[in-house]
Amino acid sequence: MKLDILAIGSHPDDVELGCSGTLIAEIKRGKKAGIIDLTQGELGTRGTIETRYQEAADAAKIIGLSVRENLKMRDGFFRNDEEHQLQLIKVIRKYQPEIVIGNILEDRHPDHGRAGWLIYDACFLSGLRQIKTIGDDGQEQERWRPKMLLQYIQDRFYEPDVIVDISDVWEQRMESVKAYKTQFMADASSDPQTYISSPEFMEALSARARLLGKRIGVKYGEGFLSKKNIGIKSLDALVLEET
């Protein structure tokens, strides 16, 4: 199955927090999108592997994903090395995405930056025909290099290279985050409260999106970074609001 957009995150919920609004908006425009979770988030303080899978599946439905796969790398300990790069190259070649959206390249959680560079390297290496990989069907895979690689902003703030207007899908975007009940919804569970399970975290998430939206004259925005310049085909792609 070929995808237009493949979003990748080190933990199930990284993509929802970073860019589910953009995915929802693009899927509404008819694009096909999928998510690859690198790990099962097994080191998370709250919830279990089972609840995370259920929550990830619920979020996938809310976003409207065509596919969601978990590569079961080791949470906290996966490396950006040949073994992990090849695992990711196989998935990139399988789905042949035009655009990949990955973790930021440096962040509070060391997994995020490591995943960011793993994705960065795999996207490049996937385009080299001398790197041979075998697909699920037992056939050798074709080389594939995504045309664009973007990074979503996570915990630490970075000046974005582009901001996407997600005002029209804001409610749905927040529903996709709230699908991770054990992570973000303070409840009566005996699991300890964490940095991300408090109501303040959700408020901060909204505030960030409002701030980015304000920069481009809309209500809510999601910001992305890119090592490559971002080209547009037409000025029609610009958000034209007075700011």
In terms of CB distance, is 195 or 206 closer to Zn ion?
195
Contacts of 219 (CB under 8 A, 6+ apart): 167, 170, 210, 213
In terms of CB distance, is 14 or 26 closer to Zn ion?
14
Helices and strands counted in the chain (H then E): 7, 7
With b for 16 or more beta-carbon neighbours within 10 A and e for fewer, the 3-27 pattern comes to: bbbbbbbbbbbbbbbbbbbbbbbbb
Integer Cα distance of 74 and 194 in angstroms: 21
In terms of CB distance, is 98 or 155 closer to Zn ion?
155
Helices (H), 29-109: 49-63, 82-95
Is residue 32 within 8 Å of residue 65, measured between CB atoms? no
* Shortest separation between residue 21's beta carbon and Zn ion, angstroms: 17
* Shortest separation between residue 11's beta carbon and Zn ion, angstroms: 4
* Shortest separation between residue 115's beta carbon and Zn ion, angstroms: 8
Is residue 71 within 8 Å of residue 91, measured between CB atoms? yes
Residue 107 in contact with Zn ion, rule: CB under 5 A: no
Q: Which stretch binds Zn ion (CB under 5 A): 6-14, 85-93, 173-181, 189-197?
A: 6-14
- The identity of residue 138, as a single letter, is G
In terms of CB distance, is 4 or 14 closer to Zn ion?
14
Residue 37 in contact with Zn ion, rule: CB under 5 A: no
Q: Which stretch binds Zn ion (CB under 5 A): 13-21, 61-69, 123-131, 179-187?
A: 13-21
* Shortest separation between residue 131's beta carbon and Zn ion, angstroms: 28
Contact pick of 4, 14, 55, 165 for Zn ion (by CB under 5 A): 14
* Shortest separation between residue 143's beta carbon and Zn ion, angstroms: 30
Q: Which stretch binds Zn ion (CB under 5 A): 12-20, 134-142, 145-153, 214-222?
A: 12-20
* Shortest separation between residue 88's beta carbon and Zn ion, angstroms: 17
Helices (H), 96-219: 110-125, 170-178, 181-184, 199-215
- How many angstroms from the chain centroid is the CA of residue 22? 10
* Shortest separation between residue 108's beta carbon and Zn ion, angstroms: 9
Q: Which two tokens stand for residue 90?
A: 């196989």
Integer Cα distance of 34 and 57 in angstroms: 12
Please identify the residue of the shown chain whose CB is closest to the bound Zn ion.
Answer: 11
Contact pattern from residue 196 through residue 235 relative to Zn ion, giving x for each residue in contact according to CB under 5 A and a dash for the rest: ----------------------------------------
Residue 11 in contact with Zn ion, rule: CB under 5 A: yes
Closest CA to 180 of 40, 20, 57, 76: 57
The residue ranges that bind Zn ion (CB under 5 A) are 11, 14
